[in-house]
A and B are shown apart, each in its own frame.
Chain A
């Protein structure tokens, strides 16, 4: 049992412990859950320190038979791509618990238990290297989020949560069909073995089959991202979710989709990915612009942030399908940035909601005069979200735009419009909420941050600056993982960018992802 197994197991154990705690001891349960979450975070930091940069292939691997026939393995491991996403999950879970401390007043133990189950599922999704296992975690994540929105959400929570569940379900059943199809071809669910077989030509997919499989995976991920026009579940789910749910949903769950695109769609079906890239990029750009324009006219703060997510994740998809190293690095970095800055936005909006019980922008005004610290933190987060240099989003957006420009200059031009628009809607919202005439209700209800709220917000702010100023902490390992994925896509026949590599198409080299052989069971 290595550290990675612990990061998956501790939340799962915590979930069970929380469930069997008696209802009378809910305060203790809450503390206990917080303990489990913090422990998970600390252990996950061990992953960071133990991660060896420059080493090809997976690290912290565990590969054990789970079900003998059909052969399904508990195969987990991490590379530079999953490392930071896992840490993001374990980092945000304690914050989500802390920010709900006083807000959740009924069915307390279930709430915190579900947060831990969610964490377990998320880490599992980012760590799984067996397609069956991946699918298991992918679906397991749905259940706690379904309950988090449905039980502790706002007025239209039931509509939102059922919509959320069904949208995801439709996408995932098609992915399941594709997974089973791959299994029948490859006689294994193991990601690396399937990749090796695809790379060596042992599984030869004809053009139509590859396109179908690509689309089946792509649809599941695109719904999760969400890519325009599949994004309609997102504003509902975000607006209705409790703050902790919104934070986890925006910060980590959406990344499951983009992670899936990078991890599965690109390396497994490189030809189809290249071939379909043009229209996907167009959808991503439409998402960037439409998301931003719709965000601009939202009267509801949470909805505004939700649409801004659609816009920001358009950048991520654009970066992924630019098929350039910088673009992909930017995309992955942007996943993390969005997790931090949008998570912080939802958090701060949640603080405002707890004070005034309204999400409507027009109910606010002049908050800065009564809650200066809250306003300052909100301003920093807003600026980060806009992409101000020295703050995190700037780095990601810059890299994505650079990658897009390398691939096709006009893509970058259109996408850059989104950056401008984001400044418009974010600053306009900031102005209406925090400046202007002090609204009567604001004066009575809004107070400045409490110590607990400081504790929630400060780590996020620190990271925004850190990730903006010194991206070298995070980027190198991401780049290495991305390079291997791009190497794999570059070997596909269709690519034009790197003719030297393209010539080696079909030559069975060692396993493309950097050696399934290294740690074969």
Chain B
């Protein structure tokens, strides 16, 4: 057609649409859900499972789309997006987290008699935003993706609107999140002012030239560090995380602790280890300070928690610290290590939260660590699966958590951050103390009220436990394939 030749730079080609497939599928599915709601939404006291099924299918189709897109890797839409190994790795990761989030939500929504349509639609939109983030090649696209992901998450955090804790969580998340996005945007605008472009590759070319005004770039990097630091809940921007995770519905906490965080780390890596590599020596100290603070604050604060969700929130701050160690390494191995760790981290956190969803009961009454008492006797399989996640969180060999930690601290040692690696490893020994409490309560205490009345695992939640557990063990015993994918992805745009 003649039109396509005239507007060849504007009208997307088929191959570009294929590269954009996951986002398209997820957005279409989200919209479809909203359209279907009046017809199949049904009675709010008996929520429909249909929407959950549809979104699982959408996630799986998008997963296929993401893998297909990788076979035709390359840029799309005037270079605003780029599909490379890195983008595909993270797309697959967030889409899988999406599936697990839906699986672990069925029971919860039923228990709370909540509307299912909007919930699943928001989840789809949020993941679409994250897919966009990880494949963006342009600061504005990154911002768009981040906002799509975040706004959906803000709403999800307050999804049970009659619940006071949900409201507190959503408001806190929203206010602090917007504030942080402001910092990010401010950094973006300075970069644009200095370089005249928002495209990541052009910025890199510009900065590589001699005489680039690196002082301003440093300022911009610092501002973006604040914004991204918030999103990944790295210290000193971590204060929101415990309150938000504690207040939000448990499946949403599970989701927020994993997919948005993974996507935020992805753009962190994409921007900092490529564009800002030139001024790496000036931001590296900031990152390792943040890493050290995150690990230490996260682990020591987690020691005294009695609420599981809050404890997991502090633990996720500590894990953000380990990931920041990998970023501070400023190397391809560090990038690959962070990528691998994010996969392991997502699996073990989704799994741990799934157990919380299982035991918490209507209105989240049972979210204390002591509510796990005697789980090992009452439901040995659930307890065994949680044990796998806990061992992985501690970092015991043969689990993904261990191999991830090994990988991260190896990258730190290779980048001559030996003391940081040693402090990080000692930190993980501190962490063992509070993770062990879960095992102690589960296996060494007599069953309490919460576990006595516990229903058996539902199929959805069972899968949301079993699949991440298998994944965790797989990453521990045969990490080869994922390591290869991460290493290939980490070689982006060098």
Contact = CB atoms under 8 A, between A and B. Distances in A.
Contact of A140 (B376, B397, B443): B397
A165 B432 contact: yes
A139 B401 CA distance: 13
Contacts of A28: none
Given A180-B421, A184-B413, A67 B483 contact: yes
Interface string A158-182: 1001100110011001101100110
Given A158-B440, A177-B409, A180-B409, A140 B398 contact: yes
A351 B177 CA distance: 63
A498 interface: no
B425 interface: yes
B421 to A, nearest CB: 6
A136 B479 CA distance: 14
A488 interface: no
B50 interface: no
A450 interface: no
A166 B418 CA distance: 22
Interface string A131-145: 010011001101100
B407 to A, nearest CB: 8
Contacts of B398: 136, 140
Interface in B128-181: none
A139 B396 contact: yes
B443 to A, nearest CB: 5
B406 A176 contact: yes
B363 to A, nearest CB: 30
A147 interface: yes
A302 interface: no
Nearest to A69: B483
Contacts, number: 82
Contact of A177 (B396, B397, B422, B440): B422
Contacts of A70: 410, 483
Contact of A142 (B396, B402, B410): B396
B410 A180 contact: yes
Given A170-B429, A177-B425, A139 B436 contact: no
Given A139-B397, A143-B391, A150-B443, A177 B406 contact: no
Interface in B232-254: none
B428 interface: yes
Interface in B367-422: 376-377, 391, 394, 396-398, 402, 406, 409-410, 413-414, 418, 421-422
A140 B433 CA distance: 17
Interface in A44-78: 67-70
B487 interface: yes
Contacts of B406: 132, 176, 180
Given A139-B397, A177-B421, A181-B413, A166 B444 contact: no
Contact of B440 (A67, A68, A162, A169): A162
A303 B444 CA distance: 23
B17 interface: no
A76 B422 CA distance: 28
Contacts of A107: 376-377
Contacts of A17: none
A166 B429 contact: yes
B428 A173 contact: yes
B459 interface: no
Given A157-B444, A184-B414, A165 B483 contact: no
A370 interface: no
Interface string A395-418: 000000000000000000000000
B89 to A, nearest CB: 16
B425, B478, B483: most-surrounded residue (chain A CB, <10 A)? B425
A21 to B, nearest CB: 12
B432 A176 contact: no
Contact of B425 (A135, A139, A146, A176): A176
B426 interface: yes
B400 to A, nearest CB: 13
B213 interface: no
Interface residues of A, number: 32
A465 B112 CA distance: 70
Contacts of A169: 394, 429, 432
A147 B443 contact: yes
A17 to B, nearest CB: 15
Interface in A12-47: none
A136 B425 contact: no
Given A143-B391, A176-B409, A177-B421, A68 B480 contact: yes
A177 B428 CA distance: 12
A101 interface: no
Contacts of B376: 107
Contacts of A184: 410, 413-414
A469 B135 CA distance: 74
A475 interface: no
A162 B429 CA distance: 12
B409, B433, B444: most-surrounded residue (chain A CB, <10 A)? B444
A107 B439 CA distance: 16
B410 A69 contact: no
Contacts of A176: 406, 409, 425
B414, B422, B478: most-surrounded residue (chain A CB, <10 A)? B422
B414, B432, B484: most-surrounded residue (chain A CB, <10 A)? B432
Contacts of A349: none
Contacts of B402: 139
A177 B418 contact: yes
B485 to A, nearest CB: 11
A170 B410 contact: no
A173 B322 CA distance: 14
B23 to A, nearest CB: 32
B413 A151 contact: no
Contacts of A103: none
B433 A69 contact: no
A463 to B, nearest CB: 33
Interface string B432-449: 110010011001100000
Contacts of B432: 165-166, 169
The 10 A-B pairs of least Cβ separation, nearest first, read: A173-B425, A136-B397, A169-B429, A170-B429, A139-B397, A180-B410, A150-B444, A68-B480, A169-B432, A173-B429
Interface of B: 376-377, 391, 394, 396-398, 402, 406, 409-410, 413-414, 418, 421-422, 425-426, 428-429, 432-433, 436, 439-440, 443-444, 478-480, 483-484, 487
Interface of A: 67-70, 107, 132, 135-136, 139-140, 142-143, 146-147, 150-151, 157-158, 161-162, 165-166, 169-170, 173-174, 176-177, 180-181, 183-184
Given A143-B391, A170-B426, A177-B409, 11 more contacts: A68-B484, A69-B487, A136-B398, A139-B402, A147-B443, A162-B433, A165-B432, A169-B394, A170-B429, A177-B413, A184-B413
13 contacts: A69-B484, A136-B397, A136-B398, A150-B439, A150-B440, A162-B433, A162-B440, A166-B436, A169-B432, A173-B426, A177-B413, A177-B418, A181-B413
